[in-house]
Amino acid sequence: MQLDVVTLFPQWFEWFAEQRHVTNAIEQGNQLRALDLREHTPLSGGQVDDTPFGGGAGMVLRVDVMEAALRGFYGVDPVELPRQRRVIALTPGGRVLDEQLVNELAAEPAVTLLCGRYEGFDERIVQHFCSDAVSIGRYVIAGGELAAMVVCDAILRKQPGALGDADSAVEESFSAALEGDPEYPHYTRPAEFRDWAVPDVLLSGHHEEIRQWRRARSRERGAASGQAPLS
């Protein structure tokens, strides 16, 4: 897949791009680009934002600046872009990212993530240039960059060959193998530590009993989290 991030801080993504699962995904033919929102700004001094009409605190990313950036990067009128690729505004009020959305995005051939800053986007950016608005949770962080990294991480690790065998994503939290429940608890050596015993069943060597124990713990965690399992 081609994964683009439009950001005022492209250098933040240099560290991210060096992480093993990301380099693996890129070696497998995926692409990750951090595109500088300022690169095509039509305004003097690299200006990208302005004060909100109607008053209020903070600054808002300008629609003309985002239009110039997207037109510059993709060579089309950005209103056409959502028909060609998923274009996602990262914003606290968007659709909350979950395993289902991650799977949906991981299967796309091309995704563009737009990072807001300050008070966020001029609403016309979201309405006319985007296919979706996505939130990483119901809280506010200082900008979309860390949210974009969360989304990139979650979808790149789903690409074939991104994870080593040891990190297999087959039986992990929220996977179909666990019917959408969180993962069961893990233990490793030492088997005895203070008086915190490892459950006997895990030391028993009975594969079917271990499987049943893990499934039960996973279900318990799912019920305790209050989240509905995947339908």
Which chain residues interact with ligand ADE by CB under 6 A? 90-92, 116, 135-137, 139-141, 143-144, 147
Closest distance to ligand ADE from the beta carbon of 117 (Å): 8
Closest distance to ligand ADE from the beta carbon of 156 (Å): 17
99/183 with CB nearer ligand ADE: 99
132/181 with CB nearer ligand ADE: 132
65/133 with CB nearer ligand ADE: 133
Give the three-class secondary structure for 114.
Answer: strand
Residues 6+ positions from 26 with CB-CB distance below 8 Å: 17, 32
Closest distance to ligand ADE from the beta carbon of 193 (Å): 38
Q: Output b/e per residue, 74-86; b: 16+ Cβ within 10 A.
A: beeebeebbeebb
Tokens of 47: 């200006």
Per DSSP, what are the bridge partners of residue 206?
A: none
65/163 with CB nearer ligand ADE: 65
- Taking alpha carbons only, the member of 102, 90, 98 closest to residue 66 is 90
Closest distance to ligand ADE from the beta carbon of 168 (Å): 28
- Taking alpha carbons only, the member of 150, 139, 216 closest to residue 182 is 216
Q: Output b/e per residue, 154-172; b: 16+ Cβ within 10 A.
A: bbbbbbeebbeeeeeeeee
29/58 with CB nearer ligand ADE: 58
- Closest residue to ligand ADE, judged by C-beta, is 147
Closest distance to ligand ADE from the beta carbon of 73 (Å): 20
